[in-house]
């Protein structure tokens, strides 16, 4: 797919679909006026009659008189009230419009009238690009037809460039999350990471089983034991353009399939557990975008890749594992595996003396109970690092919300046989007790945990996205790194 910023003659050169937006005050909009004039007062009477919804992300497809409009197909997407609209509008409106015209093959799709602030423009481009990937990877009859060329009229070329890189990185995350678990397992994730490292110029270190043992990653290895597929740990390093800056560490949970282990999940809960590597995919997507955008800050990415399965040699309830940090962990539930994988990954991240750490993990169902499917849970040992992440997310319209980390929650993870146990005392506050467990492995480094169990994977499609992987938090982190 080619992506271009087009000059101001969008009204005269032909294309195969024209995307425009309509807000509540559409009468004052210059681009709509131009199309109306070019088509001999075709558009405004339709708008006047209220045929076109201005509600956010509603798309109306119209067929304009040929020879007068640059395209006979005109897609009008609602953006609500200008200025007052929530910040998620530019990304979602653009994505919704693109999805509405992608129902069949169209060579050139031109987006007009969603230009605005630099932040809005890159959100629009990222939204349009990201919408071009769906979950139908293995369907012989495709339902999504990505255009050959996507044009953005009146956009600043730098914002188109940023939006394109971010949008493609979201596509990468979606694809990795959507790949079935017989295709996506630790070794194949590594292959994908290797090609990203080549493409974006990021160094990569792959720890295999031998190395993981030599490094005493006992928590991660405990989880991995149930699978015939060997685990991997990835350390990726992006040098940054300001090498004097201390690095940020990004840590990702990469459980390529979570059966629950002996604390086995019921069928319904297990079905989508190919998505349990979304944290690691998110880290890879962020690193790709950051490196291609040449952000200043050096970045260390640590991804722990395992399958959580059952076998004669799988880890058991009551087992005691020794993490890389030396802490001993009593296993009370083999389905609380993500925190074990992350315990060692966080410890590896500390080797690089990062200024701050952020981890991404589909860690708990409890976080989804607390915040719903569409909000990322934030938990931190450093409120200013947490709010830096929350404001970056706010600025680009991704939804995050903090959960409290009061010290008394830690009482629940005190161990009897070992230092700590891998679950709290009951179900209540499960997202927080999981975060408290992680906190044991970050020392005094400012750290924020992002529980993406809800937003990383969508069970049903939305106007702006197919069901499946979402690439959530890539945009927020790039906004943060671009600052």
Where along the sequence are the contacts to ligand BES (CB under 6 A)? Answer: 258, 276, 333, 335-338, 362-366, 368, 423, 430, 453
Q: How many residues bind Zn ion (CB under 5 A)?
A: 4
- Applying CB under 5 A, does 279 fall inside the site for Zn ion? no
Q: Is 213 a catalytic residue?
A: no
Among the listed residues 173, 169, 221, 225, the one whose alpha carbon sits nearest the alpha carbon of residue 199: 169
Distance between CA atoms of residues 266 and 269, nearest Å: 6
Q: Are 59 and 89 in contact (CB under 8 A)?
A: no
Shortest distance, position 338 Cβ to Zn ion, whole Å:
4
* Three-state secondary structure call for residue 170: helix
Rounded CA gap, 162 and 170, in Å?
12
For residues 272 and 461, which CB has a smaller minimum distance to Mn ion in the complex?
272
CB 10 within 8 A of CB 70: yes
Distances (CA, A) of 65 to 69, 101, 462: 7, 18, 30
Q: Which is nearer to ligand BES, 126 or 251 (CB)?
A: 251
The nearer residue to Mn ion, 210 or 459, going by C-beta atoms, is 459
Question: Which residue number, 336 or 465, has a Cβ lying nearer to Mn ion?
Answer: 336
451 is an interface residue for Mn ion by CB under 5 A: no
Phi, psi of 240 (to 5 degrees): 80, 160
Among positions 307-366, residues that touch Mn ion (CB under 5 A) are 335, 337
| CB of 152 closer than 8 Å to CB of 124 | yes
Alpha helices of 246-377 — where are they, by DSSP H? Answer: 267-270, 278-292, 338-350, 365-371
**Least spacing, CB of residue 287 vs Zn ion, in Å:** 22
Told to check if 276 binds Zn ion by CB under 5 A, we report yes
Of 159-167, 214-222, 256-264, 413-421: span binding Zn ion (CB under 5 A): 256-264
Sort 193 into a burial class: Cβ within 10 Å, 0-12 / 13-18 / 19+. Answer: buried
Question: 319-338 mask for Zn ion (x: CB under 5 A)?
Answer: -------------------x
In the complex with Mn ion, the residue whose CB is nearer, 31 or 337, is 337
- Spatial CA neighbour of 199 closest among 292, 301, 282: 292
Tell me: does residue 307 bind Zn ion (CB under 5 A): no
Between residues 246 and 271, which has the closer beta carbon with respect to ligand BES? 271
Binding piece for Zn ion, criterion CB under 5 A, among 5-13, 111-119, 249-257, 425-433: 249-257
Nearest to 439 by CA among 399, 351, 380, 367: 380
Q: Which two tokens stand for residue 199?
A: 């493409």
List of residues 6+ apart from 425 with CB closer than 8 A: 412
SS3 137: coil
- How many residues belong to the chain? 483
* 258 lies in the site for Mn ion, by CB under 5 A: yes
Residue whose C-beta lies closest to Mn ion: 335
State the sign of the Cα–Cα–Cα–Cα dihedral 89, 200, 231, 136. Answer: positive
Give the nearest distance from C-beta 207 to ligand BES in angstroms.
Answer: 22
Asked if 479 is part of the footprint of Mn ion (rule: CB under 5 A), the reply reads: no
* Nearest-approach distance from CB 365 to Zn ion, in angstroms: 9
State in angstroms the smallest separation of the CB of 263 from Mn ion: 8
Q: Smallest gap, in angstroms, from Cβ of residue 345 to Mn ion?
A: 16
Which residue, 257 or 399, has its beta carbon nearer to Mn ion?
A: 257
| CA–CA separation, 236 and 217 (whole Å) | 18
In this chain, which residue has its C-beta nearest to Zn ion? 258
Question: What order of strands is seen across the sheet that includes strand 203-207?
Answer: 203-207, 232-238, 299-308, 248-258, 356-361, 447-451, 376-380, 400-402
How far apart are the C-alpha atoms of 412 and 405, rounded to whole Å? 13
149 binds, among Zn ion, Mn ion, ligand BES, none (CB under 5 to 8 A by kind): none
237 or 253, CB closer to ligand BES?
253
CB of 468 to Zn ion, least distance (A): 17
**Does 398 contact Mn ion by CB under 5 A?**
no
Per the residue annotation, which of 288, 339, 436, 475 is the catalytic one? 339
Active site residue 324: no
430 binds, among Mn ion, Zn ion, ligand BES, none (CB under 5 to 8 A by kind): ligand BES
Number of residues that bind Mn ion (CB under 5 A): 3
What gap in Å lies between CA 52 and CA 58, rounded to an integer? 9
361 binds, options Zn ion, Mn ion, ligand BES, none, Cβ within 5 to 8 A by partner type: none
Q: Is the dihedral of CA 359, 364, 370, 376 positive or negative?
A: positive
265, 296, 316, 462: the catalytic one is 265
Residues in contact with Zn ion by the rule CB under 5 A: 255, 258, 276, 338
Residues in contact with Mn ion by the rule CB under 5 A: 258, 335, 337
List, by residue number, the catalytic residues.
265, 339
């Amino acid at each position: 797919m080619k992506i271009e910023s087009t000059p101001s003659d969008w009204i005269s050169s032909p294309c195969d679909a024209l995307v425009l937006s309509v807000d509540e005050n559409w009468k004052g909009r210059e681009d709509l006026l131009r199309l109306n004039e070019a088509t001999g007062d075709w558009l405004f009477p339709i708008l006047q009659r209220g045929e076109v919804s201005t509600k956010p992300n509603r798309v109306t497809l119209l067929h304009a008189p040929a020879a007068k409009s640059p395209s006979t197909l005109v897609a009008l997407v609602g953006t609500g009230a200008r200025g007052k609209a929530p910040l998620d509008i530019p990304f979602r409106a653009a994505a919704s419009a693109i999805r509405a015209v992608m129902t069949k093959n169209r060579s050139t799709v031109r987006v007009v009238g969603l230009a605005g602030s630099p932040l809005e423009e890159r959100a629009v481009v990222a939204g349009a690009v990201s919408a071009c990937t769906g979950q139908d990877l293995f369907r012989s009859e495709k339902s999504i037809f990505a255009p050959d060329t996507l044009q953005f009229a009146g956009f600043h070329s730098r914002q188109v460039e940023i939006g394109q890189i971010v949008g493609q990185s979201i596509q990468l995350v979606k694809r990795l999350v959507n790949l079935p678990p017989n295709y996506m397992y630790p070794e194949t994730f590594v292959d994908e990471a290797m090609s990203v490292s080549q493409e974006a110029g990021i160094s990569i270190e792959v720890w295999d089983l031998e190395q993981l043992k030599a490094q005493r990653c006992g928590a991660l290895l405990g989880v991995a034991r149930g699978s015939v597929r060997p685990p991997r740990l990835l350390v990726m390093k992006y040098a940054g353009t300001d090498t004097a800056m201390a690095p940020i560490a990004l840590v990702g949970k990469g459980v390529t399939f979570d059966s629950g282990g002996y604390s086995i999940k019921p069928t319904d809960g297990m079905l989508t557990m190919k998505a349990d590597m979304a944290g690691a995919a998110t880290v890879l997507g962020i690193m790709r975008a950051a490196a291609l955008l040449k952000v200043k800050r050096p970045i260390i990415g640590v991804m722990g890749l395992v399958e959580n399965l059952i076998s004669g040699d799988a880890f058991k309830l009551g087992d005691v594992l020794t993490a890389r940090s030396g802490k001993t962990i009593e296993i009370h539930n083999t389905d609380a595996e993500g925190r074990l994988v992350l315990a060692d990954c966080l410890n590896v991240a500390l080797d690089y003396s990062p200024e701050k750490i952020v981890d991404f993990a589909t860690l708990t169902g409890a976080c989804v109970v607390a915040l719903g499917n569409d909000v990322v849970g934030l938990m931190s040992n450093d409120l200013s690092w947490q709010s830096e992440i929350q404001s970056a997310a706010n600025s680009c319209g991704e939804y995050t919300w903090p959960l409290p980390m009061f010290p008394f929650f830690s009482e629940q993870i005190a161990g009897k046989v070992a230092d700590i146990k891998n679950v709290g005392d009951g179900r209540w506050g499960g997202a927080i007790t999981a975060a408290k467990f992680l906190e044991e492995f970050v020392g005094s480094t400012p750290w924020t945990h992002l529980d993406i169990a809800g937003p990383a994977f969508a069970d049903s499609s939305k106007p702006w996205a197919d069901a499946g992987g979402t690439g959530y938090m890539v945009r927020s982190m790039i906004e943060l790194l671009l600052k």
